[in-house]
Amino acid sequence: MEKYLYFRKFRPASQSFTITSTNVTNWANIDQGSATSFMEITGLGGDDIDSETEIASVTVTAVGDNSNVGSNYSGGAVVAGEVVTLDLGDAVDIANSRLRIEPASGTGSGANIDTANGYTLVAGDIVTVTLQQGLETCAMYPVSGLMSVTPAATGSTVFNFKSLKANGTIDTFTVAHADGKYEEIVNAINAIQMGKDKGGIVKVIDGGEGGLVIDAGLAGCGITGFVYAPTASY
C-alpha cells in the first residue's frame, strides 16, 4: 500500500498586538506607505493572508477613554477596557499578512480616514486578529515521489517531490526548524518510508486549526512552519 505524506500550512487561531508609542508615531501620517505602518501576522509559513474574507474578526481593547473612534462604535467614544469589534469591510485592510486599521481621523490622505468605522489607535490598545480556519493550504504526496531532502540552511530543509502533474517538474516544501536538525529530519522521513506501522496517510506537518501536529519522529526538530512551492497551473 502506497504511503502518502501530508503537509498543511500554519495558520494561528488568533494573534494580538499591543500598540506602542512607536507605532503611534509611525502611523501619525495615515498615508502609511511603509512596512512599519502595518501589524504583521506571523507563523503562517508563507500562507499569506490577502483578503478580509480570511479574517473572522478584529477587535480593539481600549487602554483608556478614547473619543477618537468611528461614530458607529459606542457613539464615537469608548471607555477603558471596552472591546470594539471593527467593521472588516471598511476599517480593515490586509495584504501579504500585513494588517492596517483605518483611523477615524488624522493627517495625511483623506482616502485613508473612515470617520464612521475607523479607529484611531493609541499606545496600550490591544488589537486581536482572529483568523478563519480551514483555509490553510495543504498537499499530500506519495512517498515514492520524494526525490530528495536537502539542507537549504542550518535551520531550513527542502523536500523535493515529483510534481503531481507527472510532467517532469518539481514541487518543493521548505521546512523551517531549529538549527542543526537536518540529520534528524532525514532520519524521521526515512523511518516513515521504511516503518511497517506507518501506512496510508502520514501527517508530517499539520499546522491547521491554530495548532500543530507533527510526526513523532520530528517532535524534537523545532519545526516552526513551511513554505509550499508547487509547479505552476495546478
Whether 234 is covered by a domain: the verdict is no
Compute the C-alpha angle 44/117/135, nearest 5°.
25
pLDDT for 197: 59
117-142 tens-digit pLDDT: 999 999 999 999 998 877 777 889 99
207-230 tens-digit pLDDT: 877 777 888 888 889 988 788 888
Same domain (yes/no): 117, 34? yes
pLDDT for 87: 95
Domain boundary residue, one of 78, 109, 131: 131
Whether 41 is covered by a domain: the verdict is yes
C-beta neighbour count of 23 within 10 angstroms: 20
Q: Does residue 138 sit in helix, strand or coil? A: strand
Confidence band (pLDDT; 50, 70, 90) for 75? very high
Average pLDDT for 65-89:
95
Whether 215 is covered by a domain: the verdict is yes
pLDDT for 32: 45
Domain boundary residue, one of 131, 157, 191: 131
CA 101 from chain centre, in angstroms, equals: 18
Same domain (yes/no): 69, 166? no
Q: What CA–CA distance (Å, rounded) separates 140 from 142?
A: 7
Whether 185 is covered by a domain: the verdict is yes
The domain of 78 spans 14-131
Q: What CA–CA distance (Å, rounded) separates 119 from 108?
A: 15
pLDDT for 178: 93
Can you spell out the DSSP letters for 41-92?
Answer: P---TT----SGGGEEEEEEE-SS-B--B-TTSGGG-B-TT-EEE--HHHHE
pLDDT for 35: 45
Same domain (yes/no): 25, 74? yes
Question: Where is pLDDT greater, at 106 or 200?
Answer: 200
14 membership: H or E segment, kind and range? strand 14-18
Whether 182 is covered by a domain: the verdict is yes
167-208 tens-digit pLDDT: 889 999 898 899 999 999 999 999 888 876 556 888 888 887
Q: What CA–CA distance (Å, rounded) separates 7 from 41?
A: 21
Same domain (yes/no): 125, 199? no
78-96 tens-digit pLDDT: 999 999 999 999 898 888 8
Q: What is the DSSP letter of 231?
A: P
Whether 75 is covered by a domain: the verdict is yes
Same domain (yes/no): 20, 115? yes
> In whole angstroms, how far apart are CA 121 and each of 36, 56, 80, 117?
15, 20, 13, 13
Whether 82 is covered by a domain: the verdict is yes
Same domain (yes/no): 190, 103? no
Average pLDDT for 21-28:
76
Phi-psi region of 200 (alpha: psi -120 to 50; beta: other; left: phi over 0): left
Same domain (yes/no): 105, 89? yes
Same domain (yes/no): 109, 168? no
pLDDT for 36 beyond 70: no
CB distance 118 to 69 below 8 Å: yes
Count how many domains the chain has: 2
Same domain (yes/no): 197, 88? no
pLDDT for 48 beyond 60: yes
Same domain (yes/no): 18, 103? yes
pLDDT for 111: 58
Same domain (yes/no): 190, 117? no
CB distance 105 to 120 below 8 Å: yes
CB distance 73 to 84 below 8 Å: yes
* Average pLDDT value for the chain: 85
Domain boundary residue, one of 106, 131, 156: 131
Same domain (yes/no): 148, 223? yes
